[in-house]
């Protein structure tokens, strides 16, 4: 995933997008529209970054485990 800037009518919009292959072509798909760059607050960006860092830590601690492994461990 990556941050994508798009322009329309002299306005810049920020999106989170991902790339994927469709046959021999590489395509992009917008996952989330964050809105106009002039309307996004720095505090909102900081909150988003903190939430993503927390998610990164959670995913890192689960490395190699599947959701099924987590469920089995809870039931034991």
Is the pTM for the entire model greater than 0.75? Answer: no
pLDDT in tens, 27-36: 999 999 999 9
Domain-located, residue 46? yes
Per-residue pLDDT at 68: 67
Domain-located, residue 45? yes
Positive or negative torsion for Cα 27, 33, 36, 42: negative
Domain-located, residue 30? yes
Total number of domains constituting the chain = 1
52 lies in which domain range? 2-64
Domain-located, residue 25? yes
Domain-located, residue 31? yes
Domain-located, residue 16? yes
Q: Where are the beta strands (DSSP E) in 23-73?
A: 25-36
Domain-located, residue 43? yes
Which H or E run includes 60? helix 42-61
Q: How far apart are CA 31 and CA 8, in angstroms?
A: 18
CATH of the domain at 25: 2.30.31
């Amino acid at each position: 995933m990556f941050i994508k800037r798009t322009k329309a009518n002299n306005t810049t919009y920020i999106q989170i997008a991902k790339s994927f292959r469709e046959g021999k072509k590489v395509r992009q798909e917008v996952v989330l529209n964050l809105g106009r760059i002039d309307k996004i607050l720095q505090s909102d960006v900081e909150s988003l970054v903190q939430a993503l860092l927390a998610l990164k830590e959670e995913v890192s601690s689960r490395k190699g485990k599947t959701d099924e492994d987590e469920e089995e461990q809870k039931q034991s």
